Amino acid sequence: MNEFQLIEYFFKPILSKRPDVAIGIGDDAASVKIASGMELLVSTDTLVSGVHFFRDEDAFHVAFKAVMVNISDIAAMGGVPCWLTLSLTLPEINEHWLCRFKEGLAQALETFNLALIGGDTTRGPLSVSITILGQVPLGKAIRRDGAKPGDAIYVSGELGGAAQALRFLMDKTPLSQDEKVLMQKLQVPTPRVDLRMMLQQYATAAIDISDGLSSDLSHICQASHVGALLQASLVPIHPLVKKYQGTKALDFALNGGDDYELCFTVKAADRSLFQQELIEQGFCCFFVGCIDDKKTIRIKKEEGRIVPLTAAGYNHFSMPL
């Protein structure tokens, strides 16, 4: 099988049902129709074998997760993901691996009504790079630099679960049924596109939590030239993290990566309306602290002490390979 047969066999059949794809896979470039009154969001994320996933990871999960982490970036901008291109680097043509990859990709596209519109296929160390395109109403993209002193800080779900799942995998812990469910958080995460209307209406800044709350909130603070004070008692920690990590549970929730929840800020004056609407729409977000005019992020411990919070999430260039 050569590169062209591979594209023909594995990627062309993942046809899209989206009528806004004018030219899909098979030409020199794809062409899509952006709806009127909308602007285009573009983001790229790469997963590298041995760095972002285990070398023997099921290719279904590799493909599914590669799409989810990209969707998460569009979700953090308050947008709706629409189209994507896939740049695949393969060490060899392994048909079993490619079949699983195709299944994972097809399921991800189906779940979020996305169209694969092109890509590139090369030989080399295994990596999966996706560029995703999304749409947001003109001027409504939620940026990192909009947080103001006094804004309330929210996270969209429990944290630390994916880091705990990774720990289970590394320690080869035998898992009970509910612990197996936790593996889903790591292998098939759910990006929070469902919150986009709420974010468009209320968020002053937003980011997705891919590297851990401490790191990702620090990006909002740096971009917005503000600081933050978090309340340790309000940080939502996944129950299995509490069970397994004991006194280290808060650390896991603050610094564990891969949760793909959102962190966002809301004006103090909008808080009660926002919370009321969350309940009406069946969402559960957690208030964790406030933006202030200091230059650092601090956390108030349960016993009342306030300590600096250093961004200790994952950083590719600070770890030995």
Interaction partner, residue 11 (Mg ion, ligand ADP, none; CB < 5-8 Å by kind): ligand ADP
- Is 101 an interacting residue with respect to ligand ADP (CB under 6 A)? no
- Is 95 an interacting residue with respect to ligand ADP (CB under 6 A)? no
- CB of 220 vs ligand ADP, minimal distance in Å: 34
Judge whether 248 and 208 are in contact, CB under 8 Å: no
Of 63 and 155, nearer to ligand ADP (C-beta) is: 63
- Is 3 an interacting residue with respect to Mg ion (CB under 5 A)? no
- CB of 120 vs ligand ADP, minimal distance in Å: 5
Q: What is the dihedral of CA 100, 101, 107, 111, to 10 degrees?
A: 150
- Is 28 an interacting residue with respect to ligand ADP (CB under 6 A)? yes
Q: Which residue from 319, 155, 117, 128 is spatially nearest to 234, judged by alpha carbons?
A: 155
- By CB neighbour count within 10 A (0-12 exposed, 13-18 middle, 19+ buried), where does 84 fall? buried
Structure tokens at 275: 């919370």
- CB of 120 vs Mg ion, minimal distance in Å: 4
The total number of residues written for the chain in this structure: 321
**Applying CB under 5 A, what is the total number of residues that bind Mg ion?**
1
Interaction partner, residue 200 (ligand ADP, Mg ion, none; CB < 5-8 Å by kind): none
Q: 280-309: which residues touch Mg ion (CB under 5 A)?
A: none
Q: Which of 16, 21, 25, 144 binds ligand ADP (CB under 6 A)?
A: 25
Q: Which of 81, 118, 236, 289 binds ligand ADP (CB under 6 A)?
A: 118
Of 88 and 229, nearer to Mg ion (C-beta) is: 88
Of 118 and 236, nearer to ligand ADP (C-beta) is: 118
Q: Output the furthest CA–CA distance in the chain (Å, rounded).
A: 64
Q: Which of 26, 50, 91, 125 binds ligand ADP (CB under 6 A)?
A: 26
**Cβ atoms < 10 Å from Cβ of 316:** 10
- Is 120 an interacting residue with respect to Mg ion (CB under 5 A)? yes
Interaction partner, residue 118 (Mg ion, ligand ADP, none; CB < 5-8 Å by kind): ligand ADP
Q: How far out from the chain centre does Cα 99 lie?
A: 25
- What is residue 10's DSSP assignment? I
Judge whether 215 and 313 are in contact, CB under 8 Å: yes
Under 8 Å CB-to-CB from 280, ≥6 apart: which residues?
Answer: none
- CB of 170 vs ligand ADP, minimal distance in Å: 30
- By CB neighbour count within 10 A (0-12 exposed, 13-18 middle, 19+ buried), where does 81 fall? buried
- Is 116 an interacting residue with respect to ligand ADP (CB under 6 A)? yes
Measured in degrees and rounded to the nearest 5, phi and psi for residue 211 equal -105, -5
Interface ranges with ligand ADP (CB under 6 A): 7, 11, 25-28, 86, 88, 116, 118-121
